[in-house]
Amino acid sequence: MRSKLFVPASRPELFAKALASAADALSFDLEDAVAPERKPEARAALRDLLRDETIRSRGKVIIVRVNALETPFFADDVDAVVQPGLDFINLPKPASADDVRAAATAIEKAERANGVAVPVKLLLNIESPGALRHAAELAAAHPRVAGLQLGLGDLFEPLGIARREPAAVQQAMFALRIAAGEAGVFAYDAAFANIKDEAGFRAEAQLAHALGFLGKSCIHPSQVALANDVFRPSDADIAHAVRVVEAARDAERKGLGAYVVDGRMIDPPFVERARVLVREATRLDLLTGEQRAALDDTASAG
């Protein structure tokens, strides 16, 4: 999920174009992008899309950002969009673990009502000082939580923190990533509002990638290619990861706990990271024939 493209749910004429885009994930927005008087029609359009059996054939991760739990729109949002075509509910502004559990209960009820067999996961927006401080607790509040997403605009603006202040951005990213790591979920980066500033988008995405984020939110299709490029595993990293996986097989056979690959000391955390990278490279069809053969040999030996 290198890139996640926001799509206003009130613009159904954009749905087909978004589904045909290069974005790994689509986040249909019922919250900020939709005026209150248009939420019912947006909800209905999204419900029809998610009921369409062909949506699964598009190869996209499908997310819906609903309205916050305390709003009068939340329950209707969940009842409408928890359909077989949905992967994630993106929950804005969770303030407590009880909020997360209440959202999970609402999703479970909608799954039963709408005949959804595969559980819908939760992606929590962390966009307040309290939520950032308690991010690990929020992420661990329910098994449905799969990830935490940073909301820098909502987090910084009320505090008078400049959205483009590098030190502030890095500290917020680091805090979120550590919280996600503690809870065993993924971290996802915030949107970048200046569509014309490709260099700024790329720099922020590169920072997020270096801090272990899964990908970056995109508010315009032009940002998708940038996110996909930044979060694509490099050929050098893929080659190293394949060698680590191969070496781990040999080390396990010889009973070694630590060993050297490409001049670097390798132990279990590095092996797990290499395996994750190899899985991502496999998903993106980035492995060479020689690398695939080596991994097949590794699997057979294992």
Q: Which of 230, 260, 283 is the last residue of a domain?
A: 230
Q: Are residues 21 and 134 in the same domain?
A: yes
Looking at per-residue pLDDT, the higher value among 178 and 298 belongs to: 178
When pLDDT is cut at 50, 70 and 90, the band that residue 90 belongs to is very high
Average pLDDT over every residue of 270-278: 85
What are the angstrom distances between the C-alpha of 178 and each of 2, 135, 139, 185, 264? 19, 9, 12, 10, 24
Q: Is the pLDDT of residue 183 over 80?
A: yes
CA dist., res. 147 & res. 4, Å (int): 13
Q: Are residues 152 and 287 in the same domain?
A: no
% of the chain at pLDDT higher than 90: 74
Q: Are residues 242 and 109 in the same domain?
A: no
Q: Are residues 8 and 33 in the same domain?
A: yes
Q: Are residues 254 and 169 in the same domain?
A: no
Q: Are residues 213 and 251 in the same domain?
A: no
Q: Are residues 140 and 239 in the same domain?
A: no
* Strand duo 216-218 + 121-126: pairing: unpaired
Confidence (pTM): 0.86
CA dist., res. 201 & res. 190, Å (int): 10
The CATH number of whichever domain residue 187 belongs to comes to 3.20.20.60
Q: Are residues 211 and 244 in the same domain?
A: no
Nearest Cα to 219, choosing from 248, 251, 192, 197?
A: 192
Of 72-76, 105-109, 157-161, 236-240, the least confident: 236-240
Q: Are residues 126 and 209 in the same domain?
A: yes
User: Could you list the residue range(s) of the whole structural domain that residue 77 is in?
Assistant: 3-230
Of 37-51, 75-89, 108-122, 242-256, the least confident: 242-256
When pLDDT is cut at 50, 70 and 90, the band that residue 300 belongs to is low
Average pLDDT over every residue of 265-292: 83
Q: Which of 201, 230, 259 is the last residue of a domain?
A: 230
Dihedral, 254, 259, 260, 264 alpha carbons, nearest 10: 150
% of the chain at pLDDT higher than 70: 98
What pLDDT score does 301 carry? Answer: 55
CA atoms within 13 A on the CB side of 51: 11
CA dist., res. 210 & res. 105, Å (int): 35
Q: Are residues 104 and 45 in the same domain?
A: yes
Mean pLDDT of the residues in the chain? 92
What pLDDT score does 257 carry? Answer: 76
The per-residue pLDDT for range 20-43, each reduced to its tens digit, is 999 999 999 999 999 999 999 999
Residue linked to tokens 């909301």: 151
Average pLDDT over every residue of 195-201: 96
Q: Are residues 132 and 255 in the same domain?
A: no
What pLDDT score does 234 carry? Answer: 84
What pLDDT score does 298 carry? Answer: 61
Overall domain count for the chain: 2
Of 71-80, 125-134, 283-292, the least confident: 283-292
Q: Which of 215, 230, 245 is the last residue of a domain?
A: 230
Q: Is the pLDDT of residue 297 over 90?
A: no
What pLDDT score does 12 carry? Answer: 94
Q: Are residues 274 and 194 in the same domain?
A: no
Average pLDDT over every residue of 181-201: 96
When pLDDT is cut at 50, 70 and 90, the band that residue 63 belongs to is very high
What pLDDT score does 162 carry? Answer: 95
